[in-house]
Amino acid sequence: MGFLVAINLFEEYQEILDQAICLSKALSTQLTLIYVESLDPSMVIEGGGPLLHLNRIISERIEENQEKLEKLVKSLKKEGINADYSIEKGVIPQAIIQKAKELSSSMIIIGSHGNTLLMDLLTGSTHEGVLHRAECPVLVVPCKS
C-alpha cells in the first residue's frame, strides 16, 4: 500500500511531488511515481511515414524519462522517503488506474494543469478520467500552467 503519484515529465510536476512528499512524510507511506508514455501522434510523422520511426521514438522517450525518474527517486530516498517508479505505455487515465489496482494504492495523486475547455474537449482531461474511474481516493493538485 502507498500512494501512486502521476507525473508528466514534460510539464511542471513539482507541485504534485511536493504534496506527495508532504503526505508521505506525515503518514510514513511509500510513493510510486508513474509516468505513462502516450505518444503524441504529431510526433510520429516527423522524418517519414507515420510508423517508420515509431519504435525508435518511443524507446528514446522511455529511456530519457527513466533517467529522470531514477534521479527523482534517488533524491526522494535521500529525504528518507520510500519511493520507486513505474513507466507504463497506453492511454494515460486507464494506465494510472490499472497501476493503482496492481499496487493496491491507497491514494492516487495527480495534477490538474488548467487546460482550456477546448483542449479538454479535444484531448480529454486526464485527472477527470482518473477521478471518475479510480477505486481509491484521488487527490487532484492544481498546477500552474
Go through the domains of the chain in sequence order and give each one's CATH number: 2-142 (3.40.50.620)
pLDDT digits (tens, 9 = 90+) for 64-92: 999 999 999 999 999 999 999 999 988 88
- pLDDT at position 66 is 95
Please tell me the distance from the alpha carbon of residue 123 to that of residue 119, in angstroms, as a whole number.
6
Distance of CA 19 to the CA centre of its chain: 14
pLDDT at res. 122 = 43
- pLDDT of amino acid 27: 95
Residue 83, C-alpha cell as written in the block: 519511493
pLDDT reported for residue 115: 52
Q: What is the pLDDT confidence band of residue 129, given thresholds at 50, 70 and 90? A: confident
pLDDT in tens, 16-64: 999 999 999 999 999 999 999 886 555 445 555 555 567 777 788 889 9
Question: Which pLDDT score is estimated for 81?
Answer: 96
Q: Give which of 42, 117, 128 is closest to 93, Cα–Cα.
A: 128
The pLDDT of 92-110, averaged and rounded, is: 95
Tell the residue number behind the cell numbers 471518475, with chain if given.
132
**pLDDT at 40 (0 to 100):** 57
- pLDDT of amino acid 100: 96
Q: How confident is the model at residue 114 (pLDDT cuts 50, 70, 90)?
A: low
For residue 116, the model assigns a pLDDT of 46
